[in-house]
Amino acid sequence: MITTGWDVVRRPDDDETVGYLEPDGELVVPVTLAGMPLGPAQHRSAATELLVTQGLAALDRRWWCRLPDLLPRGILPAGDPLPEWGWRPVVVVEVSPDGCRVRPEWPEPRELTGQALLPVPVGQLLLADPPA
């Protein structure tokens, strides 16, 4: 769950939430909707501008998540991956303060109706680069 100590950043044109500002001393860290830092600690105005211009776009890419070989239909809670689950490329479907839904980037036909639910902030459950 997103902490109440983070300030919400909204896009001025349409009031869409694009991220959060996490206090870090006199500076703030720009944080995506999934709870991942988008950059280093910086002044509030720079962090806000970064989130407005890149906050949503930063989520639109390939990510890596531990999932079963075949994702079942429906929503699979994936906040506590099983040891046999491997890292798979995924895309973000939806993010809210209550969770981040992902699906395989290239799902098998049997996986087309499946998604995995991660807690927000996602922490190390969602990686930008394939694990070593």
Return the domain boundaries, the chain: 7-58, 61-127
Q: Please answer whether residues 11 and 36 qualify as being in contact, where contact means their C-beta atoms are separated by less than 8 angstroms.
A: no
Quick one: average pLDDT of 18-31? 97
Q: What is the C-alpha separation between 33 and 121, in angstroms, rounded?
A: 8
Residues above pLDDT 70, as percent of the chain: 99
Q: What is the dihedral of CA 131, 3, 96, 86, to 10 degrees?
A: 20
pLDDT digits (tens, 9 = 90+) for 82-113: 999 999 999 999 999 899 999 999 999 999 99
| Structure confidence at residue 132 (pLDDT) | 81
Q: Please answer whether residues 122 and 32 qualify as being in contact, where contact means their C-beta atoms are separated by less than 8 angstroms.
A: no
How confident is the prediction for the chain on average, in pLDDT?
95
Q: Is the pLDDT of residue 127 over 70?
A: yes
Residue that has been written with the tokens 């930008």 in this structure: 128
